[in-house]
Chains A and B, each alone.
Chain A
C-alpha cells in the first residue's frame, strides 16, 4: 500500500485499478495473498490540489479464483455515492463533494 502511496503504479500483482472497465473505472484493489481490499479513487482537493488522489477503502474480500468478482466492484461503486462515505471524506477534505460533482467557481 505504501508502494502505491509513494507514487508507484506497478506491480499490478500488488494493486491495480480498473481503467478499462467503464463501469468500475474508479475502483481500486490492493492485494496480498488471497486478501483483497477494494476501494475507490477520488480527488478530494480538486481546487487546492487537483493531483492529490485518495483511495477510500470500502470492503474486504478473500479471493480464491482468478477473475475479480463484479459483485465486489458494484458494492464499491455503491459506497462511492452514498452520503455517509462522501461525508466522511468531506470531514477530512472539506472541498470534496463526490466524484463527478460539478464545481461552482
Chain B
C-alpha cells in the first residue's frame, strides 16, 4: 500500500501553520472556558480587539514572542516541545498539543524531572481474585488505596520487575495515585 504523507509534510510552512493553529485552539479554548471575551483579552495583552481577531484567525502571524504574550494574557505558559514519534517521514502529522498537556496533567503537573519520578511511583496493583503489592500476594480480595506512601513503588523497581507486565497481560488494572486523588 502506498504511503501517503500528511499534508504538513509538504513544507516547513505547512507544519508551522498546523502547530500554530493548535496553539490558537488552546488559547481560544482557555478564553472560552474562562469566559474571557476578546475585548478583555486584547486589553490584557495591550493590543486592539481587531488585532486579536486578526492574529487568532491567521495563525501564521504568530512569532515566538507573540505566542508567549498571548499565552500569558490567557493565563497560560508556553513550552516548546521537540519529540520523536517514530514517524520521520511525517506520514501521520504532528501530535496534538493537547495530548502533551493532558499527559503532563495526568502525571500530576510535575515541575521538574524529580517531581515527575515522584508522581509516577505511587501505584496500586489490582488483580482478581488476589491482590499484589510489591509482587507479594495480599489476601484482600479487592485492594483499597490507603492514601499513604506505603503504596509507593519506585518506578525503577516497577520497570525491573516482571510483575507489572504479568499483571497487565492478565488484563489487570494498574492504577496511579492520580486515579484516587479526588
Contacts and interface: CB of A to CB of B under 8 A. Distances in A.
Nearest to B96: A6
Contact of B22 (A3, A7, A12, A33): A3
Nearest to A15: B25
> Interface size for chain B: under 10, 10 to 19, 20 to 34, or 35 or more residues?
10 to 19
B98 interface: yes
B90 to A, nearest CB: 13
Interface in A1-32: 2-3, 6-8, 10-14
A14 B32 CA distance: 12
Nearest to A1: B21
B99 A11 contact: no
B28 A8 contact: no
A2 B99 CA distance: 13
Nearest to A11: B28
A6 B28 contact: no
Contact of A2 (B18, B33, B57): B18
B32 A3 contact: no
Interface string B15-46: 00010011001001101110000000000000
B28 A14 contact: yes
A11 B32 contact: yes
Contact of B29 (A2, A6, A7, A11): A11
Nearest to B30: A11
Contacts of B49: none
Contacts of B96: 2-3, 6-8
A28 B170 CA distance: 40
Nearest to A8: B98
Contact of A33 (B21, B32, B57, B98): B57
Contacts of A3: 21-22, 25, 96
Given A2-B93, A3-B21, A10 B29 contact: yes
A59 B126 CA distance: 50
B98 A6 contact: yes
B22 to A, nearest CB: 7
B122 to A, nearest CB: 27
8 contacts: A2-B93, A6-B99, A7-B98, A8-B25, A8-B98, A11-B31, A11-B32, A14-B28
Given A2-B96, A11-B31, A13-B56, 12 more contacts: A2-B93, A3-B22, A3-B96, A6-B99, A7-B98, A8-B25, A8-B29, A10-B25, A10-B28, A12-B32, A14-B25, A33-B57
Interface of A: 2-3, 6-8, 10-14, 33
Task: In the A-B complex, list the 9 residue pairs whose CB atoms are closest, starting with the nearest.
Answer: A11-B28, A6-B96, A10-B29, A11-B29, A13-B28, A3-B25, A11-B32, A11-B25, A8-B98
